Amino acid sequence: MEYIKGGTQKEYYTDADITNTSCLLCDSPKYELIKKEKKVLGVVRCKQCNLIYINPRLKNPEQVYWGEKKKYEEEGRFIFSGKKAHHRDKNYLEDLKIIEKHKPSGKFLDIGTNMGTFLRLAKNRKWDLLGIEPSKSLCEIAQEKFGLPIINDFVENVSFSKNTFDIITMTDVFEHLVNPKTVLQSIRLWLKEDGILFIKVPNAKFNLLKFYVREKIFKRPSDLTFDSYEHVAHYTNKTLTLMLSHCGFKPLKMYVTHPVQIPVWHFYVGQYFLYPSPAILDLKKYLGRESLYYLSLIENFFLRKIGYLSQNIVVIAQKQEHAI
């Protein structure tokens, strides 16, 4: 059964699809290759700062999400009609609880809003909401289905006055950015002096653990361990802190949060749907993710840092006076 995809991702890519790049953090051209995915995409580690990033990467990885509007509407139709929850709602509510703890009211800017499933849960609270989303189809869905105010553009093309926002969020977005320093420098100007920046990313250490266990020990290669067709950078707590510090931010707190339980409808019906699938359909992975989450809390408690068992990293940051 053919898997119907909402986005424009391919099974494999060729040399015509890719471009070479230097380190997104320190700009060094020197790296070591960890593995190849999708035939031509390189997962590499910078020899200078240890950032894991994709080189070569897709020329325009953001266009993976520039799919057909009708297909995206099909993926989320039960959510739009109110019949089902989104499979990430548990995660989004956990994220919003963290944000609310630090900043319960104010002007709230979400970057990479997608079709608005995260920002819709922030409605009817004490926040004045606005989103930015470069995909035209996803932007229109967020506006039409959830009534959200969304700007259809890239961050670097948008202008706001200094000290406009109390909260700026990038939830599962920062790892997609080919220009993270440019984006951080822009939003630093927009954020108020006492405002907060919320970033949530996959944990690169966890992806490395998956890689070594699955591919080195059990000899089961995968083209999706690092999701290199869309995730162009993979941050550890250290490299994320370095990136933020370089651009004038200081982390206040890092969190370990619940894993995303990815629905598996496409394995059974040939189409990806955004509402949760029963745990029994993917029981091994479901229990594995949950078990690792609780083990990561223990790891975090004893090591006092984000280790290899944490599947994601959440950071709350504020502006500091000078960038490194």
| CATH number of domain containing 234 | 3.40.50.150
pLDDT in tens, 73-83: 999 999 999 99
Domain-located, residue 46: no
Instruction: Please give the helix or strand (H or E) that residue 201 lies within, else none.
Output: strand 191-202
Domain-located, residue 41: no
Q: How many domains does the chain have?
A: 1
Q: CB under 8 Å to 297, separation ≥6 — which residues?
A: 256
Domain-located, residue 231: yes
Domain-located, residue 78: yes
> How high is the pLDDT of residue 186?
95
Mean pLDDT value of segment 99-122? 98
- Confidence at 112, pLDDT banded by 50, 70, 90: very high
Can you tell me the distance from the alpha carbon of 35 to that of 38, in angstroms, rounded to the nearest whole number? 10
Q: State the residue for tokens 């100007």.
A: 189
> In the structure encoding, which two tokens stand for residue 81, read together?
């009609």
CA angle (221 as vertex; 218, 224 as ends), nearest 5 = 125
pLDDT in tens, 114-130: 999 999 999 999 999 99
Residue type, 147: G
pLDDT in tens, 184-237: 999 999 999 999 999 999 999 999 999 999 999 999 999 999 999 999 999 999
Kind of pairing, strands 106-111 and 165-171?
Answer: parallel
**pTM value?**
0.96
Query: Quick check: 68 pLDDT over 60?
Result: yes
> How high is the pLDDT of residue 3?
61
> In the structure encoding, which two tokens stand for residue 155, read together?
């961050």
Domain-located, residue 141: yes
Query: Quick check: 1 pLDDT over 50?
Result: no
Can you tell me the distance from the alpha carbon of 123 to that of 293, in angstroms, rounded to the nearest whole number? 28
Query: Quick check: 41 pLDDT over 50?
Result: yes
Query: Quick check: 171 pLDDT over 90?
Result: yes
Instruction: State whether residue 34 is helix, strand or coil.
Output: strand
> How high is the pLDDT of residue 8?
84
Domain-located, residue 234: yes
Nearest one of 243, 254, 249, 247 to 300, comparing CA atoms: 254
Domain-located, residue 115: yes
Domain-located, residue 2: no
Can you tell me the distance from the alpha carbon of 248 to that of 281, in angstroms, rounded to the nearest whole number? 45
> How high is the pLDDT of residue 7?
83
Q: Residue 137's domain spans which residues?
A: 62-319
Residue type, 240: L
